[in-house]
Amino acid sequence: MTTRKRVKLMVFKVRRSAKRVVRRFARDGKGATAIEFAMIAVPFFGLLFALFETALVFFLSSSLDVAVGEAARQFFTGTAQAANVSTAATFKSNLLCPTSGRILPTTFDCSKVIIDMQTAASFGSANTSKDFYTSGSTKFCPGGPSEIMVVRVVYPMPVYLTILSGWGSNVSANRSGQTMDSGKWTHTLLSTVVFRNEPFSSYTKPAGC
């Protein structure tokens, strides 16, 4: 047998062996499930955690609405004015986060709750925007009898899924937006209540109102 024929025979055997290995590998299904799971695990868990984060945002936003509504009712009836709730600190300590009978869930860090309370000449002129939060200027001026009040409360909820930190902007201040708080990204929850006080007894407003 010539050298050329020997080389051709060796090449033929190598090709045949390679084809057998490829066919055997193609037929072998061991480990396929693990490989498929590895391919979809990251997007699957990312979507799952994003759903949990979104659900938590809606739950805490709804809880904030309920708490602000309950607290605002105390001003609507004049109860809070009679109890001398005249600062944002007393609003939080007496109404939103009292020692007993707390309205806000314990998930909230009450020290980070931002409150703005003002009166309006009419419902049409009531300021319900987020400007008090983005500008950093807040007031606390409870209204007297039959006055229209605008109560706005913001809570910077921490972003638990850090991958969401790339969404939003530094000046966003709405239910779905995000902003920075102490160097960390947060969901900005905003609750607003507008109402006219009942004609309760006279009330002396705090200084500066």
pLDDT for the residue 4 = 66
In the chain, the number of structural domains is 1
pLDDT (mean) for 27-43? 74
Q: Which one is predicted more confidently, 33 or 175?
A: 33
- What is the arithmetic mean of pLDDT over 138-163? 89
Task: Print the domain residue range for 140.
Answer: 34-196
Judged by DSSP in three states, 100 sits in coil
Mean pLDDT of the 89-101 span? 90
> Which of 131, 90, 79 minimizes the C-alpha distance to 113?
90
CB burial readout 66-89, b (16+ within 10 A) else e: ebbeebbebbbebebbeeebbebe
Q: Could you tell me the pLDDT band of residue 207, with boundaries at 50, 70 and 90?
A: confident
Q: What integer best gives the mean pLDDT of the chain?
A: 81
Whole-model pTM?
0.72
pLDDT tens digits along 114-139:
999 999 999 999 999 888 887 778 89
Segment 186-200 mean pLDDT: 92
In a domain, 2, yes or no: no
| CA distance linking residue 90 with residue 47, whole number of Å | 41
Question: What is the model's pLDDT at position 73?
Answer: 94
In a domain, 29, yes or no: no
Q: Which of 80-89, 91-100, 172-181 comes out lowest in average pLDDT?
A: 172-181
Judged against a pLDDT cut of 60, whether residue 173 lies above it is answered with no
What is the rounded average pLDDT of the residues 65-94? 93
In a domain, 203, yes or no: no
pLDDT band for 167, please (50, 70, 90 cuts): very low
Identify whether 100 is part of a domain: yes
Residues belonging to the chain: 209
Q: Is the CB of residue 142 less than 8 Å from the CB of residue 170? A: no
Confidence check: pLDDT of 7 > 70: no
Alpha carbons 114 and 133: distance in angstroms, whole number: 8
Considering the domain boundaries, does residue 10 fall inside one?
A: no
Note whether residue 7 is domain-resident. no
- pLDDT above 70 for 13: no
Contact 80, 95 (CB under 8 A): yes
User: What Å distances lie between residue 55 and 104, 117, 126, 138, CA to CA?
Assistant: 17, 29, 31, 29
Whether 207 contacts 149, CB under 8 Å: no
Handedness of CA 52, 115, 191, 84 (dihedral sign): positive
DSSP string covering 135-176, please?
A: S----B----TT-EEEEEEEEEEE-SSGGGGGSS-TB--SSS
Q: Establish if 15 belongs to a structural domain.
A: no
Provide Rg for the chain, Cα atoms.
32
Among 165, 173, 202, 201, smallest CA distance to 189 is for 173
CA distance 184 to 194: 31
71 in a domain, yes or no?
Answer: yes
